[in-house]
Amino acid sequence: MAHTQEQILEGLAEIVNEIAGIPTEEVKLDKSFTDDLDVDSLSMVEVVVAAEERFEVKIPDEDVKNLKTVGDAADYILKHQA
Amino acid sequence: MNSTNRTVVVTGIGATTPLGGDSASTWEGLLAGRSGVKRLEGERFAELPVRIAAPAAVDPEDVLPRPLARKLDRSAQLALIAAREAWADAGYTAKAGEDAAIAPERLGTVIASGIGGVHTLLDQYDVLKEKGARRVSPHTVPMLMPNSPSANVGLEVNAQAGVHTPVSACASGAEAIGYAVEMIRTGRADVVVAGGTEAAIHPLPVAAFASMMAMSKNNEHPEQASRPYDKDRDGFVLGEGAGVVILESAEHAAQRGARVYCEVLGQGLSADSHHIAQPEPTGRGIAAALQNLLDSSDLKPSELVHLNAHATSTPQGDLAEIKALRKVLGDDLDHVAVSATKSMTGHLLGGAGGVETVATVLALYHRMAPPTVNVDELDEGIDADIVRNEPRPLPEGSIAAINNSFGFGGHNVVLALRSV
């Protein structure tokens, strides 16, 4: 079953909270993973793997570099989910 | 700045050990003669020949925030907790460079581990086998590398003079402190955060040490299993934790008005070149290390009043150490109160040198030698004054102590401290 953008944002917020300790309410679509959410390049790999599992989507390594903000990731997942 | 004979002092201490989550509770446990050894519960230990160990009394994951803890191997978590305590204890309130207390380029770290991030290595191998390569954590390499504790403490305090990790099995923590002393003496740094850490209570290392016949199999009586110098000792008990000291040039400590616990007189080093894991039975290498210390420092055998011994509770090792001391010190060993704190903490491998340096610093500072527990019947080959069961006051005036650490591979490190 496809997830809505709202559900994806909620899921990403929980993942970022688990990995970087940022409160879920601060994880918003316009936030940058690196600059705003304390997710460095290594932790970004964890975010991606957790998102793949949760939303049943494949995010190839070459696409990860384009996911600068939470909105970028949400859009990608929305478009590519099964 | 570049003098090679600068006096080095201890201005801060920190520890998290099987006896307590900080140096004060650890010291209290040592004086009370409390054992930190417990049964290893759980299915994964059930089939092992050794089912006892001395885990850290306070789980580091309960102390550190989760986002930080999950990026650190347990050995680095413990080191960071001990280092934070030591840093604050020395009176530092910010990272280097954030205030004028110490410049980053004059601050170093030397923190060692004997084994490194073995929990991370083995846990991630389980992930690889069970869930596949994609699920292996991107933090695996920075977590398992043995320099990770030193590097993470370096990041914590902003150390830029050098971040180092000597590895010499169970001598690693002591070697780290010796290395730090040299960094200050040779003018490379004014302040160094130094010590040792270990977290190896996992079925694989336990099974491996057990295969070497190095460990006590007294599974029925965990608190009595670590019994250095007792005639029925049957091997060491694996312990977990970290001990860290802040070393500082005496000049730097004086300039900022720091409290000084004691002076570090120096280190004596040697190697057995005898066997990869067996102690050399005559104590030849240990004697050489102690002689090197006496030759290279102004430590006088007459002022020695306390020894924190390596004494891991193995039949051969405990004897060789005392033989070596008797050979070098002669009658001067008679006025040395010998404590084997591993009887309470177990053997922290690369963490031992750190924790036992903290214990030796406190013994001089409080003028009290901690006891050795479980010596029900002293091995008749132990020709030294063992402090048994109760702590013993140390004399007034200027007094000195040594702390021994030896490691598989034949590494011998003797550190000397003097009261101030």
Q: For residue B107, which of B149, B64, B164 has the smallest C-alpha distance?
A: B164
Question: CA–CA distance from A40 to each of A45, B66, B112, B338 (Å)?
Answer: 9, 16, 26, 50
CB-based contact B249:B228 (threshold 8 Å)? no
Q: Is A64 on the interface with B (CB under 8 A)?
A: no
As a whole number of angstroms, the distance between CA B375 and CA B120 comes to: 37
β-pairing, B262-271 vs B8-16, is antiparallel
ipTM: 0.90
**pLDDT tens digits for range A8-56:** 999 999 999 999 999 999 999 999 999 999 999 999 999 999 999 999 9
CB atoms within 10 A of CB B265: 22
The answer to whether residues B182 and B119 belong to one domain is yes
Q: What domain range includes position B124?
A: 8-255
The answer to whether residues B311 and B351 belong to one domain is yes
In a domain, B260, yes or no: no
Class of residue B201 by CB neighbours under 10 A (exposed 0-12, middle 13-18, buried 19+):
buried
Q: Which CATH architecture has domain A5-80?
A: Orthogonal Bundle (1.10)
**pLDDT tens digits for range B346-376:** 999 999 999 999 999 999 999 999 999 999 9
Q: Which helix (H) or strand (E) covers residue B267, if one does? A: strand B262-271
- Beta-carbon separation of A49 and B142 below 8 A: no
The answer to whether residues B309 and B245 belong to one domain is no
CATH number at residue B352: 3.40.47.10
Q: For residue B413, which of B357, B372, B346, B335 has the smallest C-alpha distance?
A: B357
Q: Is A26 on the interface with B (CB under 8 A)?
A: no
The answer to whether residues B239 and B105 belong to one domain is yes
Please report, as a single letter, which amino acid is at residue B232.
Answer: D
Taking chain B (420 residues) in runs of 10, the rounded mean pLDDT of each run is 76 98 98 98 96 98 96 98 98 96 97 98 98 96 98 98 98 98 97 98 97 96 98 98 98 97 98 95 97 97 98 96 98 98 98 98 98 98 97 98 98 98
The answer to whether residues B97 and B24 belong to one domain is yes
- Beta-carbon separation of B142 and A21 below 8 A: no
**How close does chain B come to A17, measured CA to CA in Å?**
8
Tokens standing for B74? Answer: 């347990």
The domain segmentation of chain A, as residue ranges, is 5-80
A63 a catalytic residue:
no
pTM: 0.96
- Beta-carbon separation of A46 and B138 below 8 A: yes
**What does the pLDDT read at residue A81?**
87
As a whole number of angstroms, the distance between CA B8 and CA B266 comes to: 9
